[in-house]
């Protein structure tokens, strides 16, 4: 479902937003974040999930209400800067193992993720069985991510993100370096009392603001309003989400979406639990 300037931020898909847990141990939850369209504003889902499947449709409005139309095509998603459909799978520790992107049932690409203990160690991005990129990670003495290295086999180059974290392991600054190790982007964020990102800023190497993303959340912790902009009101996008159905664990299964008060979509989810 996510937009959040999706095409511009696709390079960020692997960013891990992790934090320490405290005793007593809370009920099982699964974070929908790294290597999914929810890499910026993560979703915390209830229960131990095996998989999450999401499909986006055009909405049909009538006097009886809103119903699903056809699946949004690739060209239409490019125009909207809207994310692809996906199926994300998780292990019993709540770590992502694979995410397959599609348009409906038509395969586009996939991430295959390797984990060591409770951390992501490597992630491989494939298109048509061709490896386009693989990510590796380094961690500090506290177990928090301090670097993500993006490797591109096609030209043997790499890019790097470095992390500045708080005492809980939540990042508050990211620095992005290009293949020549030049600083190109700096990301900072604001968080609420539940450590959810409510606002993210992107700056260039000269500290000029390039982009702002922000979100608010409903009573179940799912975002219901987002705004993305490139430093001006004219280029902003406002997305409103009305969740119309939840499953027995209070995870949403259907939502009606409005973009800039003029474009209407329906997004459906299916969950499989351990």
- The average pLDDT across 85-95 equals 97
Residue 204 parent element (H or E): strand 197-204
- CA distance linking residue 121 with residue 160, whole number of Å: 15
- CA distance linking residue 38 with residue 35, whole number of Å: 8
pLDDT digit string, tens, across residues 115-160: 998 899 999 999 988 999 999 999 999 999 999 999 999 899 999 9
> How sure is the predictor about 234, in pLDDT bands with cuts at 50, 70 and 90?
low
Q: What are residue 89's DSSP bridge partners?
A: 51, 98
> How sure is the predictor about 8, in pLDDT bands with cuts at 50, 70 and 90?
very low
Q: What is the largest CA-CA distance in the chain?
A: 59
Contact 160, 150 (CB under 8 A): yes
Residue 260 has pLDDT above 90, yes or no: yes
Tell me the Ramachandran region of residue 5: left when phi exceeds 0, alpha when psi lies from -120 to 50, beta otherwise: left
Residue 242 has pLDDT above 60, yes or no: yes
- What residue spans define the domains of the chain? 10-273
- CA distance linking residue 152 with residue 166, whole number of Å: 30
Q: Annotate 238-265 with b (16+ C-beta within 10 A) or e (fewer).
A: ebebebeeeeeeebbeebbbebeeebeb
| Better-scored residue on pLDDT, 169 or 235 | 169
> How sure is the predictor about 231, in pLDDT bands with cuts at 50, 70 and 90?
low
pLDDT digit string, tens, across residues 96-127: 999 999 999 899 999 999 999 889 999 999 99
pLDDT of residue 233: 57
User: Chain centroid to CA 82: how far?
Assistant: 12
- The average pLDDT across 39-56 equals 95
Residue 76 parent element (H or E): helix 74-80
Percentage of the chain beyond pLDDT 70 is 90
Residue 1 has pLDDT above 90, yes or no: no
- The CA distances from residue 266 to 58, 72, 243, 257, 263, in Å, are 6, 10, 10, 6, 11
- CA distance linking residue 128 with residue 119, whole number of Å: 27
List the CATH code of the domain at 10-273. Answer: 2.40.160
Contact 120, 111 (CB under 8 A): no
DSSP class of 234 = G
Mean per-residue pLDDT over the chain, rounded: 91
> How sure is the predictor about 6, in pLDDT bands with cuts at 50, 70 and 90?
very low
> How sure is the predictor about 26, in pLDDT bands with cuts at 50, 70 and 90?
confident
- CA distance linking residue 161 with residue 6, whole number of Å: 18
pTM score of the predicted model: 0.89
């Amino acid at each position: 479902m996510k937009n959040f300037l999706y095409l511009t931020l696709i390079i960020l898909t692997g960013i891990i937003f992790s934090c320490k847990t405290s005793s007593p141990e809370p009920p099982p939850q699964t974070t929908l974040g790294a290597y999914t369209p929810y890499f910026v504003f993560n979703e915390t889902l209830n229960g131990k999930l095996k998989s999450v499947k999401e499909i986006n449709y055009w909405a049909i409005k009538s006097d009886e209400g809103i119903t699903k139309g056809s699946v949004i095509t690739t060209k239409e998603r490019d125009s909207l800067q809207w994310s692809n459909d996906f199926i994300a799978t998780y292990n019993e520790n709540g770590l992502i193992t694979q995410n397959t992107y599609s348009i409906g049932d038509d395969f586009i690409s996939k991430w295959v993720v390797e984990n060591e203990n409770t951390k992501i160690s490597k992630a491989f991005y494939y298109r048509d069985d061709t490896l386009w990129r693989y990510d590796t990670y380094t961690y500090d003495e506290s177990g928090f991510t301090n670097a993500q290295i993006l490797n591109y086999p096609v030209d043997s180059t790499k890019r790097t993100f470095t992390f500045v974290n708080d005492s809980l392991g939540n990042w508050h600054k990211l620095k992005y370096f290009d293949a020549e190790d030049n600083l190109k982007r700096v990301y900072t964020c604001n968080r609420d009392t539940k450590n959810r990102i409510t606002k993210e800023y992107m700056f260039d190497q000269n500290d000029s603001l390039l982009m702002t993303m922000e979100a608010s959340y409903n009573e179940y912790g799912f975002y219901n309003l987002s705004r993305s902009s490139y430093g001006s009101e004219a280029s902003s996008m406002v997305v409103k989400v009305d969740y119309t159905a939840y499953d027995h664990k209070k995870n949403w299964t259907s939502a009606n979406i409005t973009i800039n008060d003029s474009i209407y979509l329906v997004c459906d989810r299916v969950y499989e639990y351990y």
